Amino acid sequence: MLFPEFDKKLDMKGTFSFSLDTDLNEITRKFGIKIIARIRRHKDSAKAVLNIPYSDGKTTELSEKLKKFNPKTGNDGFLASLDITRSKFLDSFSNFVNIPSVIVDAVLIEDGLTRVYFRFHRSASKNISNSFASDWSRYDMFSIELLGPNDGYEESFRTISRKVSLYSVEVKCRVPGNDMDITGDIAMSTFGSAWEREVKYLIAGNIQAIYYDNHSLLKNDSKDVVEISTSEGIYQATFINPIIEYYIREAENRQIVTLALPQRLVGNQFSFDVVIPKMQLTEFYSLIFESFKKFPDWKMELGHIVPL
């Protein structure tokens, strides 16, 4: 697990909730279930990937209610997607995740409310307040449920896991020599070959991430790097990585919610964790083993797999 490497680098966290006018609100109230979602943005479109647990004794009735979402049936729940391209929510969400250092850990729909869990660096506090005032306060039943010190990366996800069971799956690999070429990779040319990072979001092949430069390896004054805290070695930048892009894209295609993608590079040894709902473990393992075949030069293997 890579969590101890990051722990409290983003030293603040928060939770806020609001009501959206969707059928999912009624479904969560009626069946007493918690739906976990991941927002995926593309250049001209966006969707919410939904993982919906079966309802004890009411799965057939729940399936009928979900028909408009064209759900797939998984081992332990339904998999579905909701087009949110022209929604007011997407505008608010996009503005929010564009705030430097903000990482959304999860979006849950429960008891008729949408609840957003996030972490951030204290330097973004003013922007967070402005976002609440200008965007989120317009929604019905808006409430800030928590805003304060981050008590650790792992504990943040355990809080979510108490509502929807989560697992952390680690994959280790070796970067092939041709992929270590720094000329076209801002991560390599800027931070060298020793860093940790967390994914913020992916748009049109460019992945936005928070970098933790523990060894003061910042190599150039790039306009593409946003300094969040120079003294603490925290930066924000985009990157391209075939493995990570594959996992994000394929998880979306298979309607698997992925909540976190922390990564570490030391020399040519690359490792990453993926936090996913327990209900989708079987589907996710299929994705992993297919990636082993697709990227043989990366010498991929499983690391730690643990419940949160």
Convert the pLDDT of each residue in 98-154 to its tens digit: 999 999 999 999 999 999 999 999 999 999 999 999 999 999 999 999 999 999 888
Q: Last residue of a domain, which of 120, 140, 161?
A: 161
pLDDT for 238 equals 85
**Could you tell me which residues come within 8 angstroms of residue 290 by beta carbon, excluding any fewer than 6 positions away?**
250
Task: Clarify whether residues 187 and 135 are in a common domain.
Answer: no
Q: What is the pLDDT of residues 161-214, one digit of tens each?
A: 999 999 999 999 998 877 655 445 566 666 667 788 899 876 656 788 998 876
Phi (first) and psi of residue 208, to 5 degrees:
-90, 135
Residue 74: predicted pLDDT: 81
The pairing of strands 301-307 and 166-174 is antiparallel
Distance CA 263, CA 270 (A): 7
Q: Please give the pLDDT value at position 183.
A: 44
- Give mean pLDDT, residues 210-238: 77
Burial (0-12, 13-18, 19+ Cβ within 10 Å), 157: buried
- Domain co-membership, 191 together with 293: yes
Q: Domain range holding 72?
A: 3-161
Model pTM?
0.92
Residues 242 and 97 occupy one common structural domain: no
Cα separation, 51 vs 48, whole angstroms: 10
Q: Are 238 and 204 in contact (CB under 8 A)?
A: no
Banded model confidence at residue 218, pLDDT cuts 50, 70, 90: low
Closest C-alpha among 152, 134, 87 to residue 114: 87
Last residue of a domain, one of 126, 161, 196: 161
- Domain boundary (131, 161, 191) is at 161
User: CA triplet 53, 257, 179: central angle to 5 degrees?
Assistant: 155
Shortest CA distance to 122 belongs to which of 208, 238, 9? 9
On whether both 99 and 146 belong to a single domain, the answer is: yes
Query: What does the block give as tokens for 193?
Result: 């070959």
Q: What are phi and psi of 92, to 5 degrees?
A: -65, -45
Q: Do 61 and 135 share a domain, yes or no?
A: yes
Q: How many domains does the chain have?
A: 2
